[in-house]
Chains A and B, each alone.
Chain A
Amino acid sequence: MKRIVVFLVSLFLFVPFVNAEDKYINVYLFHSNTCPHCKQELAWFDEYLENHSNVRLYDYEISDSENRTRYYEVQNILNYDSNGVPFLVVGNDVVIGFSDSLSSRIETLINYYLANDYEDEIGKYLGVSIHESNLETVPDKNTATDDGVLDDVEQDVHEDTDLDNYEVPILGEINAKSVSLPLLAVVMGFVDGFNPCALWILIFLISMLFGMNDRKKMWILGLTFLITSGLVYLLFMVSWLNLAVFVSSVNAIRIMIAAFATIFGVYNIYNFFKNKNSDVGCTVTNDKSRKKIMEKIKVILAQKYFVFSLIGIILLAVSVNVLELLCSLGLPVIFTQVLALNNLSVLEYSIYILIYILFFMLDDIVIFFVAMKTLQIKGISNKYTKYSHLIGGVIMIIIGLLMLFKPEWLMFNF
């Protein structure tokens, strides 16, 4: 019995090392020029490959359209659905992202696949499948059969490092990565909230609600309008985010959005200085469409049955917010583009978008709640709208330029 145990332990310890010495392995890395983790991983491989002549790295930069097609096809083969890079294939396993802990994971995977037979499906697809006895590429000739049996890979694109921690007076140590995106969501959402296009409708609606003389109905209709408006904005931002994530690896699109942000930012600042000394007030524009919306509100509130008023308010909120989206297209588009650059999880995306929308709607919420409590509309000066153009313009220019020249900084890797 003792002999059998010793034999099995020896076999277990010995076999992998023997095989690791004799066999060769291909690994496939999909990366992007704009991704700092990709650069780190490539640098790590440079060093690693010097001491591991039996490992061959094939790298594919995904801003190239052919490589991008390969990237998605490889994910199809492996049954993956990710937009993250670096995307490394070792055997039948995948490692997304890069960090110190993931580098040892990569080494473990490489050793595992060196020691165990497997079918190099990705190599076959890419036409670089390796012959087991030498390094020559022999397409469709890998005869290994075993599947990878390791656990699901760890997705760790944004592992924090000590370098990201800053000592802030009073608040103590703060992690730049974990603070930057929420802070950006708060600032951009708040600035975007001073968009006057949608605010006038709320103001008019509140003034009409005052005529209802039923506090409960006023609250319900007003809140329904606010919540529906928020949901429309949420839907818009999620749709744009999906598009942004889908095209985030296409350099041309990133450059286009960066150029748009910069130009729009310059235009906003130009407008601020052009109107700096002019009166702060309202200009009569879109007279016809405004009158139409005002008539609609009156009709909705005059409905005999409350449920019709409620449905009417929902439809009104949807229609006016869709129409007014163009008015504030700049900041949410740019914010979702920054999110897309960060390769976050669905939960993280959702949290940041919700923070943005909460602060976007903060002025509406304050105006509504104060009006309902005091039965008086307290205006928020249009001078804040004027300054929001200046702040928004500066943010757009900064993000636009970073997107063009230092996209990794927008991933908050300083």
Chain B
Amino acid sequence: MKKFVYLIIVNEVIIIKVIKYSAAWCMSCIVMDNVLNKLQDLYNFNYVSYDYDNDRDKFIGFDENEKLPIIEFVDDNNRVLVKINGEHSTKEIEGILVDLGVELK
């Protein structure tokens, strides 16, 4: 129920969905998983993760040479606002969230 509330815009608070396309065998994906989990405790955003080997259909449309993880910041209309590849620091991801207007919890 709480998550549902975040998905709508309340008092101009932008609810962003963060989608991570990763793989269980990918070290960089684990690094980013830890970063996003940490930020999820601080900011209002939804976090969804797809696995390369279990959710292959979700990876259709990506270039096969793209570095994993692929992280998309999507608005509630499913428009991709920002897309990044590979490892990034907590500070960098936090910067993107702030730029997109995501607020602290």
Interface residues of A (CB under 8 A from B): 196, 199-201, 203-204, 207, 278-284, 290-291, 294, 377-383, 385
Contacts A279-B86, A281-B85 hold; do A204 and B24 have CB atoms under 8 A apart? yes
Check if A282 sits within 8 Å of B31, measured CB to CB: no
Check if B25 sits within 8 Å of A281, measured CB to CB: no
Check if A282 sits within 8 Å of B65, measured CB to CB: no
**A-B residue pairs in contact (CB < 8 Å), sample of 7:** A203-B27, A279-B67, A280-B87, A281-B26, A281-B28, A281-B68, A381-B87
Contacts A279-B87, A382-B87 hold; do A291 and B30 have CB atoms under 8 A apart? no
Check if A383 sits within 8 Å of B53, measured CB to CB: no
Interface centre among A283, A284, A377, A383 (most CB of B within 10 A): A284
Chain A residues whose CB sits within 8 angstroms of the CB of B29 once the complex forms: 282, 379
- In the complex, the chain A residue whose C-beta lies closest to that of B69 is A281
Chain B residues whose CB sits within 8 angstroms of the CB of A378 once the complex forms: 30, 34
Contacts A279-B87, A281-B87, A284-B52 hold; do A379 and B30 have CB atoms under 8 A apart? yes
Nearest 10 A-B pairs (CB), nearest first?
Answer: A281-B86, A281-B67, A279-B86, A379-B30, A282-B26, A379-B31, A200-B25, A282-B68, A281-B28, A279-B67
Check if A380 sits within 8 Å of B27, measured CB to CB: yes
Check if B28 sits within 8 Å of A207, measured CB to CB: no
Check if B27 sits within 8 Å of A381, measured CB to CB: yes
Chain A residues whose CB sits within 8 angstroms of the CB of B33 once the complex forms: 379
B23 proximal to A (CB < 8 A): yes
Kindly provide the distance from the CB of A60 to the nearest chain B CB, expressed in whole angstroms: 53
Chain B residues whose CB sits within 8 angstroms of the CB of A381 once the complex forms: 27-28, 31, 87
Interface centre among B25, B29, B31 (most CB of A within 10 A): B25
B64 proximal to A (CB < 8 A): yes
Chain A residues whose CB sits within 8 angstroms of the CB of B23 once the complex forms: 282, 284
Check if A283 sits within 8 Å of B24, measured CB to CB: no
Kindly provide the distance from the CB of B68 to the nearest chain A CB, expressed in whole angstroms: 4
In whole angstroms, how far apart are the Cα atoms of A383 and B86 in the complex?
10
In whole angstroms, how far apart are the Cα atoms of A385 and B24 in the complex?
18
Check if B27 sits within 8 Å of A200, measured CB to CB: yes
Kindly provide the distance from the CB of A294 to the nearest chain B CB, expressed in whole angstroms: 7
In whole angstroms, how far apart are the Cα atoms of A146 and B97 in the complex?
91
In whole angstroms, how far apart are the Cα atoms of A299 and B27 in the complex?
23
Chain B residues whose CB sits within 8 angstroms of the CB of A290 once the complex forms: 25
Kindly provide the distance from the CB of B47 to the nearest chain A CB, expressed in whole angstroms: 16
In whole angstroms, how far apart are the Cα atoms of A203 and B26 in the complex?
8
Check if B67 sits within 8 Å of A199, measured CB to CB: no
* Cross-chain contact of A284 among B27, B34, B64, B84 (Cβ < 8 A): B64
Contacts A381-B87, A382-B87, A383-B87 hold; do A280 and B30 have CB atoms under 8 A apart? no
Check if B25 sits within 8 Å of A279, measured CB to CB: no
Contacts A279-B67, A291-B53, A294-B53 hold; do A203 and B87 have CB atoms under 8 A apart? no
Contacts A203-B25, A290-B25 hold; do A278 and B34 have CB atoms under 8 A apart? no
Contacts A294-B53, A379-B34 hold; do A278 and B67 have CB atoms under 8 A apart? yes
- 4 further contact pairs, Cβ within 8 A, besides A204-B24, A291-B53, A381-B27: A281-B87, A377-B30, A381-B31, A383-B87
Check if A199 sits within 8 Å of B34, measured CB to CB: no
In whole angstroms, how far apart are the Cα atoms of A291 and B64 in the complex?
16
Interface centre among A203, A377, A379 (most CB of B within 10 A): A379
Interface centre among B65, B69, B85, B87 (most CB of A within 10 A): B87
Check if B24 sits within 8 Å of A282, measured CB to CB: no
Chain B residues whose CB sits within 8 angstroms of the CB of A291 once the complex forms: 53
In whole angstroms, how far apart are the Cα atoms of A199 and B27 in the complex?
8
- In the complex, the chain B residue whose C-beta lies closest to that of A196 is B27
Kindly provide the distance from the CB of B27 to the nearest chain A CB, expressed in whole angstroms: 5
Chain A residues whose CB sits within 8 angstroms of the CB of B65 once the complex forms: 283-284
Chain B residues whose CB sits within 8 angstroms of the CB of A383 once the complex forms: 87
Kindly provide the distance from the CB of A117 to the nearest chain B CB, expressed in whole angstroms: 72
Check if B27 sits within 8 Å of A379, measured CB to CB: yes
* Cross-chain contact of B85 among A200, A201, A204, A279 (Cβ < 8 A): A279
Chain B residues whose CB sits within 8 angstroms of the CB of A282 once the complex forms: 23, 25-29, 67-69
In whole angstroms, how far apart are the Cα atoms of A368 and B30 in the complex?
14
In whole angstroms, how far apart are the Cα atoms of A66 and B2 in the complex?
84
Contacts A382-B87, A383-B87 hold; do A280 and B52 have CB atoms under 8 A apart? no
Chain B residues whose CB sits within 8 angstroms of the CB of A280 once the complex forms: 28, 67, 86-87
Chain B residues whose CB sits within 8 angstroms of the CB of A281 once the complex forms: 26, 28, 67-69, 85-87
Kindly provide the distance from the CB of A376 to the nearest chain B CB, expressed in whole angstroms: 8
In whole angstroms, how far apart are the Cα atoms of A383 and B89 in the complex?
12
